[in-house]
Amino acid sequence: MPRIDVRPLSADNWQDFARLFSARGGPHHCWCTLYRFRDAQRMSSGKKQASMKRLVSDETPVGVLAHAGDEPVGWCSIAPRESYVKLARSRTMPRVTDPETVTWTVLCFFVARPYRRQGVTKALLRGAVAYARAERAAVIEAYPFDTAGISATHRGHSSLFEAAGFRRDGKRWALLLARP
C-alpha cells in the first residue's frame, strides 16, 4: 500500500481536487454538490464545480482529500451537518442530535480505481475524523449503504465505520468525540 496523506480540501489543494474529480472515472457529474445545493440536480457540471470552488474559497468545510505522493487518489465528504442543505428535510438521514450539538456528517467516499482495495477509504475516514475533531465536532454521523437502506455504495460499508469506533444508532452510525 502506498503512503496515504489526508488533508482538508482548501484553496491550496483545490487543483488536486479538480484533477481527481475531472479524471476519467471521476465523479465529475456531481462534484459532491447533491446535498449542498437545493438545485444541484439541475446545475451543469461547470456550475457544480464553480459552486464547490466558491465554498472552498470561502473556507467552508467540505471534506478531505487523500494523496499518494503528489497524486490525488481519494475524497471523503465530511462537513457540518448544516452545510448539507438537503439534509434539513431528509427522512432517510434525519437529524438525531439537538441543534446545539456540533454534528458533522460523512456523506460519501470516492477512490480512484488504481488505488481501490489498498486502505485509502480507511485512511480517508481517519483523516475525516481528525479534521472534524480539530474543528470541534461533538458527533460525527454516517449513513452506510448497507444499514441505512441507501442503495448508493459511495456511502461506505458499516464495517468501515464500526472499525473506526462508530456505533449504530438506528439507520445512522455515530462517533461521539470527547471535547478538547
Tens-digit pLDDT profile for the chain (180 aa)?
Answer: 679 999 999 999 999 999 999 988 888 888 999 999 988 889 899 999 999 999 999 999 999 999 999 999 999 999 999 999 999 988 888 888 888 999 999 999 999 999 999 999 999 999 999 999 999 999 999 988 776 556 556 778 889 999 999 998 877 888 888 654
What does the pLDDT read at residue 25? Answer: 84
pTM exceeds 0.85: yes
- Who's near 121: CB < 8 A, 6+ residues apart? 74, 76, 109, 111, 156, 160
- Domain map of the chain by residue range? 4-176
- Three-state DSSP at 66 gives strand
What does the pLDDT read at residue 55? Answer: 96
What does the pLDDT read at residue 146? Answer: 73
In the chain, how long is the greatest CA-to-CA distance? 41
What does the pLDDT read at residue 152? Answer: 59
Angle (deg, nearest 10), helices 45-57 and 14-22: 160
Which among 100, 93, 101, 124 has a CA at the least distance from the CA of 176?
A: 101
Rounded Cα distance between 74 and 116, Å, is 9
Q: Indicate the CATH number of 4-176 among 3.20.20.370, 3.40.630.30, 2.60.40.1930, 3.40.50.300.
A: 3.40.630.30
What does the pLDDT read at residue 54? Answer: 96
Strands of 4-8's sheet in order across: 4-8, 63-68, 71-80, 103-111, 139-142, 172-176, 167-169
Rounded Cα distance between 95 and 127, Å, is 23
